[in-house]
Structure formats: C-alpha cells, structure tokens
C-alpha cells in the first residue's frame, strides 16, 4: 500500500536536510562522534513510580485504562492474547535484520518521500545532533525489501516476511481490543453514532510496524537513542526487548524508565487520542536511552484512523465547562502540521478553534 500524497508531503518537509542522510554503522565505534554527542541529556528520575500494568481481561480494565491515560498517558497491557513465542520470533528476525552488514541495509534505504524501509528516525530533522539508533518500517508485506536484503537466501526472506506479517496481524487484533476499552473509557459505546470504530471499519485503520535498533554505545551518557517527542497516532503499542531503554516524561517527576515486563505491551497515548479526549488523555513525551552492555531492539505498532476520517473532541468530553479545544483534523493533515510545528502541533490545532 502506497502512503497517501499528503503523508508523503508531510515527510517531504525537511528543514534540516537530514532525510537523505543514511545511518552510519554504529556497531564498531570506539567513541561517540561529535555529530552524535548530545549535551548532558537530562538524567532519568530515581523513583519507585512506574506506569500501571493492566490486565485487559480484568472487568475493571476500562476504568483502570482511563485512569492510566489521564495520569501517565501510557500503560502496560497484559493478557492481550499475543503468544510470547511470536514476540521471540519477531525479536530474532529484528536482530537478524539489524545485524546485517551495513551496506546490505543501505540497499533498502528510504528516500525523503518514503515512509517504508531503512533509515534514521523521522523526528531527526528537529534535533541538532544525530540519534544513536536505526529503524526499519513495514506496512503489509515486506517481501520486496526482504528480497533486496537477502537476495540469495529465499528461506530467510520467507521467515522474515511470515513473522512480520503474523506480528502485524496479531498486533492489530490486540490494539483494536485495547482501543475498544479506551473508547469505552471516554464514554463512547459501539452503538454511539460517534463511535470511531463505526467509521473505521475492520480493515480501514492505518497502521505501520516500526522496528527500532539501539546498538551498544561506548559512551551512553553522551548519546541519545531517540529524542523526546510525542506520537501523532491514536496509540503506539510497543514490544520492548528485555533491556530497559524507554522512558516517559511524568509531570512533576521527570523522566521515568519503563521497566520491561515479559509479554507486556507498552501503550502510549498519541496526539490524535489527546484530541479525541479533548485533552483528558494526554499524549506522552517519551525518549529512548542507550547503554554500553547490550544491543537493544523494540517493535512498535503505530495505529490511527483512516486517512479521510476527521478526529475531533468526542461529544462525551464536551459540556459547558469543557468546550471543544481542538478543530477536526485527519491523521494525514495532522502529520503535515506536525512536520512543520513539531511539538507545537497540538497548540496549532488548538489555536485554530473559532
């Protein structure tokens, strides 16, 4: 499936000229290059607090998820139905991809107008220093890219594609179950005419699978795996490997590490859910730090509405004391707004309210 013209335009916006930049091979570097050196990244907070771990089969899951989205903008979901052996296979294939020789990965380097393939983080354009990471984005079958990565190894192509397609299928199912609970926490029911799923249908939601790699870093205190940002989506659902690296910004506390829980999925509230909730569920700033002991990977499922569905504050979130704060916006046009305004995009949409 080709990304929409608007989404391509959004990613083409390139004020720092970094989209054509290929990731360098970070695996054998003995010291952090100046181009990758961040000035004293803010340390994480030493706290006993952490995002809630919620059993989504719990009868109180809807209430617990609503509280977590208000307080944290995130939670960890367990008992979502995705078997742990699938995550093990997906992780193994992700390591297989990123452990390829650097020149092999460059065969599928994405261009400035491309969403899919290998490259640096899309948010790189907003930061003066490079990040200590690399990524590979998939939508549907990765067969074409797999044939370029492993041209003489069809069995590896098949294993990679089969695993990634199964991973997308299962992540979609689990994410839709989580979204149903989130919509319910907002007071939206399946029979409500404003129920977003009724507009989205079973197969029309847009989603991408993002594989992320954070190689070992010789000086982790001088580097950053992924700079602080929020996501544009409804939610981003993340499988972490066993190594800690994801951190969330908690107001009044600081950067809080998200400790990996085997089999759990981290659910981050994105900007579109922030808009749908009229600011009640806040999109969470997050970042990824690196270490000098272990190569870390993560698998993220970025989930949002169809390209033609406008997202606005839900009627259940509006009353005389809580007027609508945001104008209706499609995901594609919001991506375009974010490509221009970055972390001020929500304010840009907010300021357009008449």
The secondary structure of 58-94 as a DSSP string is STTHHHHHHHHHHHTSEEEEE--S--HHHHHHHHHHH
Which of the following is catalytic: 110, 173, 296, 352? 296
User: Angle CA(220)–CA(224)–CA(227) in degrees, nearest 5?
Assistant: 160
Q: Which of 275, 334, 267, 335 is nearest to 301 (CA)?
A: 267
User: Angle CA(225)–CA(227)–CA(229) in degrees, nearest 5?
Assistant: 135
Q: Which of 121, 128, 100, 132 is nearest to 24 (CA)?
A: 132
- Cα(317)–Cα(277) distance, integer angstroms: 6
- Cα(38)–Cα(250) distance, integer angstroms: 22
296 catalytic per annotation: yes
Residue found by looking up tokens 């609503």 in the block? 66
Strand partners, 78: 55
- Cα(282)–Cα(155) distance, integer angstroms: 44
Q: Count the neighbouring beta carbons within 10 Å of the beta carbon of residue 256.
A: 22
- Cα(230)–Cα(273) distance, integer angstroms: 11
- Cα(176)–Cα(237) distance, integer angstroms: 11
Strand partners, 249: 255
3-class DSSP assignment, residue 284: coil
Which residues have a catalytic role annotated?
296
């Amino acid at each position: 499936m080709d990304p929409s013209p608007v989404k391509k335009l959004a990613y083409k916006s390139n004020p720092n000229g970094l989209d054509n930049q290929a990731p360098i091979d970070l695996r054998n570097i003995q010291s952090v290059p100046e181009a990758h050196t961040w000035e004293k990244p803010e340390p994480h907070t030493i706290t006993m607090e952490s995002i809630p771990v919620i059993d989504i089969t719990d009868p109180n899951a809807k209430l617990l998820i609503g509280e977590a989205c208000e307080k944290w903008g995130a939670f960890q979901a367990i008992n979502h139905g995705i078997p742990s052996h699938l995550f093990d296979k997906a992780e193994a294939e992700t390591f297989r991809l990123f452990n390829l020789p650097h020149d092999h990965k460059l065969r599928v380097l994405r261009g400035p107008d491309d969403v899919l393939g290998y490259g640096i983080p899309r948010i790189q354009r907003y930061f003066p220093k490079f990040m200590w990471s690399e990524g590979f984005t998939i939508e549907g079958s990765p067969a074409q890219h797999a044939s370029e990565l492993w041209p003489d190894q069809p069995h590896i192509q098949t294993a990679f594609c089969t695993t990634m397609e199964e991973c997308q299928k299962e992540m979609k199912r689990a994410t839709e179950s989580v979204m149903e609970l989130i919509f319910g926490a907002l007071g939206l029911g399946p029979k409500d005419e404003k129920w977003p799923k009724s507009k989205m249908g079973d197969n029309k939601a847009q989603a991408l699978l993002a594989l992320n790699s954070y190689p070992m870093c010789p000086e982790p205190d001088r580097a950053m795996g992924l700079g602080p940002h929020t996501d544009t989506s409804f939610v981003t659902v993340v499988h972490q490997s066993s190594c800690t690296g994801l951190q969330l910004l908690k107001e009044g506390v600081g950067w809080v590490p998200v400790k990996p829980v085997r089999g759990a999925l981290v659910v981050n509230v994105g900007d579109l859910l922030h808009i749908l909730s009229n600011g009640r569920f806040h999109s969470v700033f997050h970042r990824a730090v690196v270490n000098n002991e272990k190569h870390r990977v993560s698998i993220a499922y970025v989930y949002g509405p169809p390209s033609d569905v406008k997202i606005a504050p839900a009627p259940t979130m509006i009353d005389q004391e809580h007027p609508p704060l945001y104008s209706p916006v499609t995901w594609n046009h919001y991506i375009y707004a974010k490509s221009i305004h970055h972390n001020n995009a929500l304010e840009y949409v907010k300021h357009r309210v008449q």
